[in-house]
Amino acid sequence: MTVSFRVSVLLIASTLLFGGPLRGVSAAQEATQPVMISMELLANRPIVRATINGQGPFPFLLGSDDQRTIVDPELAETLKLKPAKGATELTVDLGFGPTNTFKTALVVEDIARVTADFSRTTRPRGILSLALWKDQLVTVDYSQWKVMLEPGVLPETNGKDVFALNPTGEFTLPLTIAELSVDCRVDPLFPGGLILPTAMAGTLPMVGDPKDAGSVKTRAGALRVLETRLAGNVTLGSVEVKSPIVFLSDRSETAIVGTPWLGRFLVTYDLANARVRLLRPVATATRY
């Protein structure tokens, strides 16, 4: 039997058994290693930098419940990105570092509603949807400022650290203050801490009277808020925060928690199964 014939037999066998050619241990291990993407904080919002078709990198907001990846019209024009006639999306190569490139569909859309308070030189040029990695576990590590991609499935929801995403992809979890429990939306594009509806003020244990704190930016626009420190603790999911400072707004119908509160959390998304896990890697309590 010739050498070339033996090689051919081995290649065919490996394809039948393993779905591809035989690989060395190091190569196989490398294939299962998590992909790490750097993340940074800009104007209290998470940013990742990505190339588009090899050009860039450009800053993108990390939108956890955005269903589509968006690029702003000015950048699309610069890069000559234009959907085919009759289409609303176009496909590009989105790159993170020298080795991680993903094909993704994106849309061209104005994102000024969430970037109005950035300077022209620092403003994000798009919003990156986690749906880009819908078949993987995507962990947004706010404690180490990185995004990790890996295969896997989250456990079933338990109402403690694993929760169900709602049909629109929003992540809400129970928030408890004293005897009061409300649903709280997790929104990393909200640069404030925690907003509570003013209607809750009468039942909140507060230190002193609320004070005018001006306005804060949200996806829905600017909200006038009052600021107060709670006399009691807040439990978010299964994580307790001691006597935090919070905002009150009469224009907010639900509680919203933003990036400043996410700074010590690991949030893992399993979009294929509409689940999300919230963990706190640091055991010590943080005072906000």
Domains of the chain: 35-150 (2.40.70.10), 162-279 (2.40.70.10)
Among the listed residues 114, 9, 13, the one whose alpha carbon sits nearest the alpha carbon of residue 60: 114
The pLDDT of residue 137 is above 50: yes
Please state the φ and ψ torsions of residue 229, each to the nearest 5 degrees: -105, 135
The two tokens of residue 53 are 């078709």
Is the pLDDT at 286 greater than 60, yes or no? Answer: no
- High-pLDDT (> 70) share of the chain, %: 86
Residue 185 has pLDDT above 60, yes or no: yes
3-state secondary structure the chain: CCHHHHHHHHHHHHHHHHCCCCCCHHHHHHHHCCEEEECEEECCEEEEEEEECCEEEEEEEEECCCCCEEECHHHHHHCCCCCCCCCCCEEEEEEECCCEEEEEEEEECCCHHHHCCCCCCCCCCEEEEHHHHCCCEEEEECCCCEEEEECCCCCCCCCCCEEECCCCCCEEEEEEECCEEEEEEECCCCCCCEEEEHHHHHHCCEEEEEEEEEEEEECCEEEEEEEEEECCCEEECCEEECCCEEEEECCCCCEEECHHHHCCCEEEEEHHHCEEEEECCCCCCCCC
Q: Kindly state the average pLDDT of the residues 107-115.
A: 90
- Rounded average pLDDT over 102-106: 93
Q: What is the pTM of this model?
A: 0.81
In the 3-class helix/strand/coil scheme, how is 18-48 assigned residue by residue?
HCCCCCCHHHHHHHHCCEEEECEEECCEEEE
Separation CA 241–CA 210 (nearest Å): 19
Residue 27 has pLDDT above 80, yes or no: no
User: In this model, does residue 7 exceed pLDDT 50?
Assistant: no
pLDDT at 123 over 60: yes
Calpha distance 14→239 (Å, rounded)? 48
Model confidence at 66, pLDDT cuts 50, 70, 90, reads confident
Q: Which residue has the tokens 């393993």?
A: 18
Return the pLDDT at 212: 95
* The pLDDT of residue 157: 94
- pLDDT tens readout for residues 223-246: 899 999 999 889 888 788 889 999
Mean pLDDT score, 39-56: 94
The span from the CA of 224 to the CA of 201, in Å, is: 15
pLDDT higher at 125 or 254: 125
% of the chain beyond a pLDDT of 90: 47
pLDDT for residue 36: 94
